[in-house]
């Protein structure tokens, strides 16, 4: 069974700052990024209580500070999600430069422009120092459909005076669930699931409970794992409606995925082959904003493509550093031509062989694990803390499937 959606959990945790009342979250993934976010919240004065292995209670009765810890912010990109709630609740915040995966330039301009439109004044001071005399609703057009930029604007706007319209909003499932969660607390958000959100500001929010959905990126990762290794895997509570484009893109590599109610099943011993476009043209796998193929699954798709007979173009449109990890796959025996930072041609199938590897980021990390599992010989993967940021107890889940994998201390 997959863990809770990391990209849903992090904004929900940040949203706990918007109310003084108790919030209970279930199916919280126990991963490094979540632990870092909880540490940031605790330093701000939020009471965090562990109710169970994946259940937390949070209550921000009184916030004791608005300056965020630089070391903790440097560990995760999602630290920026605290800005909108703190401005709405306290009227000020000091954000050190956020960290996260090094997969290319990750601009914060969308966040800043939206918050400035709502009434925030922003100074650059070894990070970002912001304050406001009061947020007011505005008609905002985001310069890109940024997920976290949209989430920050939503959280700020739900406590602003008046009505805010956010156009060109991201509408990924985790953005939708943030909106539904806030509405359950007393917010008034309309247009959920579209790229135009209307938010009527409210004076206060109440408490409530919420169960985080399964992580469709983890589900997609295990689909890729099963396909590349020829394994049979049943993934329970996979939320198939979040996997339509994932299944479509993997089908271009000959991967068959069966939907069984709320579960998905990947048959074993599939003969992977690239399915040409009409007229025999070389197909491509590319990413984009929802409902396109998730950028977080592009690294996994590259590994699956190395095991499929034929040629496919991988086009990573969102991050110029996402594909740089393919040099590690080439060292393992993959036949890949990196055309430029955004495009790679993969010719398969290729017999991979074990190698010493280093995980550069969360998604490349899981891709390298998959490559190692379908390779001959032994691989040793370093810097697995990156993988731990997004995947809970990965080696235990893989061991349960029969993988020969173990965590060793360096």
Q: Which residues have a catalytic role annotated?
A: 101
Q: What angle do CA 36, 38, 40 make, to 5 degrees?
A: 70
**What is the rounded CA–CA span in Å between residue 213 and residue 6?**
9
Give the chain's count of helices (H) and strands (E): 14, 20
Distance of alpha carbon 54 from alpha carbon 239, whole angstroms: 19
In angstroms, the CA 307 to CA 294 distance is 21
Q: How far apart are the first and last CA of the chain?
A: 29
Q: Hey, how many other C-beta atoms are within 10 angstroms of the C-beta on 249?
A: 23
Of 169, 128, 376, the C-alpha closest to 289 is: 169
Taking the C-alpha atoms of residue 61 and residue 207, their distance in angstroms, rounded to an integer, is: 11
* Kind of pairing between the strands at 128-131 and 92-95: antiparallel
Q: Which two tokens stand for residue 282?
A: 């070389």
DSSP 57-98: EEE-SS----BPPHHHHTT-GGGGGGHHHHHHHHSEEEEPPP
CB 26 within 8 A of CB 3: no
175 and 168 in contact (C-beta within 8 Å)? no
Q: How far apart are CA 188 and CA 160, in angstroms?
A: 12
In terms of Cα–Cα distance, which of 231, 292, 283 is closest to 257? 231
β-strand partners of 197:
166
Strands 233-235 and 258-260, sheet pairing: unpaired
Task: Classify strands 284-286 and 263-266 as parallel, antiparallel or unpaired.
Answer: unpaired
């Amino acid at each position: 069974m997959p863990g809770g959606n990391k990209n849903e959990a992090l904004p929900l945790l940040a949203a706990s700052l918007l109310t003084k009342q108790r919030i209970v979250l279930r199916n919280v993934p126990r991963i490094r990024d979540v632990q870092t976010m909880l540490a940031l919240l605790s330093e701000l004065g939020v009471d965090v209580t562990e109710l169970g292995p994946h259940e937390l209670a949070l209550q921000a009765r009184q916030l004791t500070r608005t300056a965020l810890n630089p070391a903790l912010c440097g560990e995760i990109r999602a630290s920026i999600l605290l800005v909108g709630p703190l401005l709405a609740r306290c009227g000020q915040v000091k954000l050190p430069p956020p960290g996260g995966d090094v997969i290319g330039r990750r601009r914060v301009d969308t966040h800043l422009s939206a918050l400035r439109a709502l009434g925030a004044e922003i100074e650059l001071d070894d990070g970002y120092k912001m304050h406001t005399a009061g947020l007011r609703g505005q008609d905002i057009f985001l310069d890109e459909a940024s997920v976290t930029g949209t989430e920050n604007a939503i959280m700020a706007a739900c406590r602003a005076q008046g009505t805010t319209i956010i156009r060109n909003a991201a509408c990924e499932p985790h953005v939708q669930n943030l909106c539904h969660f806030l509405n359950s607390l007393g917010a008034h958000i309309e247009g959920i699931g579209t790229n135009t959100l209307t938010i009527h500001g409210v004076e206060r929010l109440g408490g409530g409970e919420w169960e985080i959905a399964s992580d469709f990126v983890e589900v997609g990762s295990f689909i890729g794992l099963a396909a590349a290794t020829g394994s049979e895997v049943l993934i329970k509570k996979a939320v198939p409606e979040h996997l339509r484009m994932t299944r479509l893109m993997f089908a271009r590599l000959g991967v068959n995925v069966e939907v069984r109610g709320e579960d998905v099943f990947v048959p074993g011993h599939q003969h992977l082959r690239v399915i040409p476009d009409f007229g025999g043209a070389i197909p491509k796998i590319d990413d984009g904003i929802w409902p396109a193929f998730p950028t977080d699954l592009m690294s996994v798709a590259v590994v699956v493509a190395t095991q499929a007979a034929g040629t496919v173009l991988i086009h990573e449109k969102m991050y110029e550093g996402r594909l740089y990890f393919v040099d590690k796959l080439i060292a393992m025996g993959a036949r890949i031509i990196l055309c430029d930072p955004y495009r790679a041609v993969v010719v398969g199938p290729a017999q991979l062989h074990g190698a010493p590897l280093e995980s550069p980021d969360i998604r490349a990390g899981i891709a390298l694990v998959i490559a190692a599992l379908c390779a001959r010989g032994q691989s040793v993967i370093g810097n697995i803390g990156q993988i731990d940021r997004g995947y809970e107890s990965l080696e235990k889940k893989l061991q349960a499937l029969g993988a020969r994998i173990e965590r060793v201390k360096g």
